[in-house]
């Protein structure tokens, strides 16, 4: 009898790597959406991630696809760690008793410690989550890097790797192209107004 390959609970099989990555929200990391770090039991990051999702939590388990002789394999970037988002008013304490979770990083006052948004944004862009989605026309976006970092503009069109933004220069509106990875749609918050 042929030996069946071992499968880690919660980790998708190689044949489903692409579909698993597609379940990630493309832009989960914004200053308006707090994220927290979960420390899992040894080697249980996949299991903890699966159980948190079943409970309705939105998670971010940084991964990469590595190529082995037996085929592609999804590997966690950080063993024993993942990220979860929630509002402090939610019943976040249930995370502490979730199967596979060892602890949530807390402050001295026992409140969850939020991960620095920019650090997590950089991590999110570095991992292999597949192509970024296109942005709807007339969506307000924020520039993530460069001399215009932090400025808000209106998206006129969007493709897989490029976007066209409407900018006002010397009382004239012109269309300027940016890399898709250098902009993000604004989250629904008080930050959605266009900056001058």
Q: Within this chain, do residues 99 and 164 fall inside the same structural domain, yes or no?
A: no
Percentage of the chain beyond pLDDT 90 is 21
| Angstrom distance (rounded) from CA 87 to CA 97 | 18
Last residue in a domain, options 103, 126, 149: 126
The total of structural domains in the chain comes to 2
Q: Is residue 75 part of a domain?
A: yes
HSE at residue 185, side-chain half, CA atoms within 13 A, is 18
Region 116-121: mean pLDDT is 78
Per-residue pLDDT for 100 more than 70? yes
Percentage of the chain beyond pLDDT 70 is 72
Using a 10 angstrom Cβ sphere, with 0-12 exposed, 13-18 middle and 19 or more buried, the burial of residue 20 is middle
With residue 51 as reference, give the H or E element that holds it.
helix 45-54
Q: Within this chain, do residues 107 and 159 fall inside the same structural domain, yes or no?
A: no
Reported as a single tens digit per residue, the pLDDT across 43-65 is: 999 999 899 988 888 888 887 77
Name the average pLDDT for the chain. 76
* CATH number for 68: 3.30.70.940
Given pLDDT bands bounded at 50, 70 and 90, which one contains residue 36? very high
Beta carbons of 84 and 34 less than 8 angstroms apart: no
Q: Within this chain, do residues 144 and 116 fall inside the same structural domain, yes or no?
A: no
Per-residue pLDDT for 27 more than 60? no
Region 141-152: mean pLDDT is 86
Q: Which domain holds residue 84?
A: 14-126
* pLDDT for the residue numbered 11: 57
Give the residue with greater pLDDT, 184 vs 44.
Answer: 44
| Angstrom distance (rounded) from CA 19 to CA 64 | 13
Give the residue with greater pLDDT, 191 vs 149.
Answer: 149
* pLDDT for the residue numbered 73: 72
3-state SS track over 87-130: CCCCCHHHHHHCCCEEEECECCCCCECECCHHHHHHHHHHCCCC
Beta carbons of 43 and 79 less than 8 angstroms apart: yes
Q: Within this chain, do residues 144 and 119 fall inside the same structural domain, yes or no?
A: no
Q: Is residue 8 part of a domain?
A: no
The set of residues, in sequence order, having a beta carbon less than 8 Å from that of 8 and lying 6+ positions away, is: 43, 46, 47
Structure tokens, 49: 């991630």
Using a 10 angstrom Cβ sphere, with 0-12 exposed, 13-18 middle and 19 or more buried, the burial of residue 74 is buried
Given pLDDT bands bounded at 50, 70 and 90, which one contains residue 102? very high
Per-residue pLDDT for 168 more than 60? yes
169 forms beta bridges with 172
103 forms beta bridges with 39
């Amino acid at each position: 009898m042929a030996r069946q390959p071992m499968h880690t609970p919660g980790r998708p099989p190689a044949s489903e790597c692409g579909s698993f990555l597609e379940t990630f929200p493309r832009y989960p990391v914004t200053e308006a959406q707090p994220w927290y770090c979960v420390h899992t039991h040894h080697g249980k990051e996949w299991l903890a991630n699966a159980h948190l999702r079943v409970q309705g939590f939105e998670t971010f388990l940084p991964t990469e696809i590595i190529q082995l002789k037996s085929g592609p394999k999804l590997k966690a970037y950080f063993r024993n760690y993942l990220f979860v988002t929630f509002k402090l008013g939610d019943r976040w304490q249930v995370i502490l008793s979730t199967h596979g979770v060892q602890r949530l990083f807390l402050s001295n006052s026992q409140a969850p410690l939020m991960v620095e948004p920019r650090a997590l944004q950089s991590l999110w862009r570095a991992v292999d989550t597949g192509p970024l989605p296109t942005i709807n026309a007339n969506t307000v976006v924020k520039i993530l890097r460069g001399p215009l970092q932090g400025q808000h503009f209106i998206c006129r069109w969007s493709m897989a790797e490029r976007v066209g933004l409407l900018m006002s220069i010397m009382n004239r509106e012109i269309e300027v192209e940016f890399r898709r990875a250098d902009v993000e749609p604004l989250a629904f918050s008080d930050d959605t107004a266009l900056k001058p």
